[in-house]
Amino acid sequence: MTQQKLAEQALRSSEARYRLLADHSSDLIARHGIDGRWIYLSPAARAILGFDAEALVGLDPFEFIHADDRGRCLLMLRNLVSSGQEQSATYRVRRADGRHVWLESKAKPVFDSLSGAVVEVVVTSRDVSERIEATRKLRRREADLAHAERLGTMGQMASEMAHELNQPLYAIANFADACLERIQQQPPPGASEREELNRWILQIAQQARRAGDVVRRVTKFVRKGDLDRESLDLNRCIQEASVLLELCGRSKEIDIEYDLASGLPPVVADRLLIEQVLLNLVRNGAEAMEDLSDRERRLTIRTFQAEPETVGVAVSDRGSGLPAEHLCRLFEPYFTTKADGTGMGLAICRSTIEAHAGRIWAQNNSDGGATFLFVLPVPPLDRQHGA
Ligand code: ADP
């Protein structure tokens, strides 16, 4: 027997063994010529592609491969033929019913035993449509979740911003109204009144700048939890915010009383954010006394040193107080009992104070009304200027 004949016989017997395996496999096993055309397909072609195996023999599989995947698969065939190395790919193939299925294929070269050239390609393919679809669904769900999370954060930020901007905007509108009223009055403002007008206009400019600062700082805080820390004397902070605090009190016709402890050690904190906390507490206190007619509408701002390592502020009103069922929900975002409330004020206060490693809480006064308190840690002496 010639060498050629021996080789052919060997090929035929391995082919027979191969067919036996292929006939019983749920994977699609196919033989292709080096131009890609089908030479043989196992019976699994029926289940996977919807065609009888014989119907596909002689056809070009690339005509069934999804246009978006065709280039990649052609390249794979070319690589295999030129390098003689196994290749694998995942791609879409059109079934007899027009639907596309995802196949995961491994392609192996068959070499001519004499010349060593690649003469055929054996491709084993598995239908992985379900797995790919499940992964796609998971990815879509993850993307949806990330989107929802971003929207949630943005929504919260928008609410916080709107809430915090109320104060400087209210102040701007108020001072601007006062200026207009005075300018339009007869006789026109004299020298001393012009001085007052100047002061009000200065306040407008200051508050407009504050509005800008609020946007910048709240965004920074909400996005990254960043604080602009500086050494801060709480008493000074209250005095400096007093224009806004008084304005807030005046709008609700309440008096603000200050009871500031002397000799308070400084804290290291974000001044603007702590001022916003104070403003929120004062505004809530003022609103709680809005309908009060039987008692004096008085709000007290007190500073104190709780233990050697903490200093605090207490804002006490003489309003309606806090029902037990509200006490545990006060600081939750969106909790409000007001018709036009946002329920963000106390949530912002808590996240600000906690970001400073402090604590905020509320309690009822024995003689009526509520007190909101917060404490901030006093840093060790050597870190007090480490803003
Ligand atoms: P908002 O003022 O928009 O309602 P807040 O978070 O500032 O949002 O307050 C949440 C709720 O806590 C208020 O709606 C009110 O019911 C209650 N609250 C806050 N401060 C006081 C207070 N000083 N006295 C009584 N209730 C208060």
> What is the best residue among 254, 289, 336 to mutate for testing ligand 1's pocket, by most ligand atoms within 8 Å of CB?
336
H or E stretch at 101: strand 100-111
* Nearest protein CA to atom 14 of ligand 1, as residue: 336
Is there a cis peptide before residue 187, judged by omega within 30 degrees of 0? Answer: yes
230 has a pLDDT exceeding 90: yes
Alpha helix segments (H runs only) across the chain: 3-23, 45-49, 53-56, 67-83, 129-184, 191-224, 234-240, 242-251, 271-288, 324-327, 345-355
Compute the distance from residue 346 Cα to the ligand 1 centre, in Å.
Answer: 7
* Burial (0-12, 13-18, 19+ Cβ within 10 Å), 146: exposed
321 has a pLDDT exceeding 50: yes
Taking residues 345-370, report their average pLDDT.
92
28 has a pLDDT exceeding 90: yes
Is 122 in contact with 35 (CB distance < 8 Å)?
no
Q: Give the sign of the dihedral formed by CA 307, CA 308, CA 310, CA 312.
A: positive
Could you tell me which residues come within 8 angstroms of residue 182 by beta carbon, excluding any fewer than 6 positions away? 189, 193, 196, 197
Taking residues 4-23, report their average pLDDT.
61
The Cα–Cα gap between 351 and 355 comes to 6
Degrees, nearest 5: CA angle 29-32-38: 85
Partners of 275 in the beta sheet? Answer: none
Q: Would you place residue 15 in the very low, low, confident or very high pLDDT band (cuts 50, 70, 90)? A: low
Could you tell me which residues come within 8 angstroms of residue 267 by beta carbon, excluding any fewer than 6 positions away? 231, 232, 234, 311, 356, 376, 377, 378, 379
Q: Which residue has the higher pLDDT, 43 or 307?
A: 43
Is 316 in contact with 370 (CB distance < 8 Å)?
yes
* Nearest protein CA to atom 7 of ligand 1, as residue: 345
The Cα–Cα gap between 335 and 338 comes to 9
pLDDT of residue 381: 67
Tell me the pLDDT of the chain averaged across its residues. 86
Closest listed residue to residue 159, CA positions, set 285, 283, 341, 356: 341
CB 369 less than 6 A from any atom of ligand 1: no
Q: Which residue has the higher pLDDT, 354 or 155?
A: 354
pLDDT of residue 365: 96
Is 27 in contact with 126 (CB distance < 8 Å)?
yes
167 has a pLDDT exceeding 60: yes
Compute the distance from residue 336 Cα to the ligand 1 centre, in Å.
Answer: 6
Taking residues 270-282, report their average pLDDT.
90
pLDDT of residue 215: 82
Percent of the chain at pLDDT above 90?
A: 51
CB 360 less than 6 A from any atom of ligand 1: no
Compute the distance from residue 367 Cα to the ligand 1 centre, in Å.
Answer: 19
Closest listed residue to residue 230, CA positions, set 104, 33, 386, 87: 386
pLDDT of residue 387: 44
Q: What is the pTM of this model?
A: 0.57
Least confident of 104-108, 126-130, 186-190: 186-190
CB 322 less than 6 A from any atom of ligand 1: yes
pLDDT of residue 145: 66
Task: At 65, list the tokens.
Answer: 């491969």
With tokens 């400087």, the residue in question is 168
How far is the CA of 342 from the CAs of 151, 227, 274, in angstroms? 18, 24, 20
Task: At 284, list the tokens.
Answer: 């809530």
Task: At 169, list the tokens.
Answer: 């905007």
Q: How many CB atoms lie within 10 A of CB 104?
A: 17
pLDDT of residue 10: 56
CB 341 less than 6 A from any atom of ligand 1: yes
Could you tell me which residues come within 8 angstroms of residue 74 by beta carbon, excluding any fewer than 6 positions away? 36, 62
How far is the CA of 363 from the CAs of 39, 197, 370, 372, in angstroms? 85, 42, 6, 7
pLDDT digits (tens, 9 = 90+) for 235-275: 999 998 887 788 777 777 899 999 999 999 999 999 988 98
Is 218 in contact with 157 (CB distance < 8 Å)?
yes
pLDDT of residue 138: 81
Closest listed residue to residue 41, CA positions, set 121, 131, 130: 121
The Cα–Cα gap between 352 and 269 comes to 10
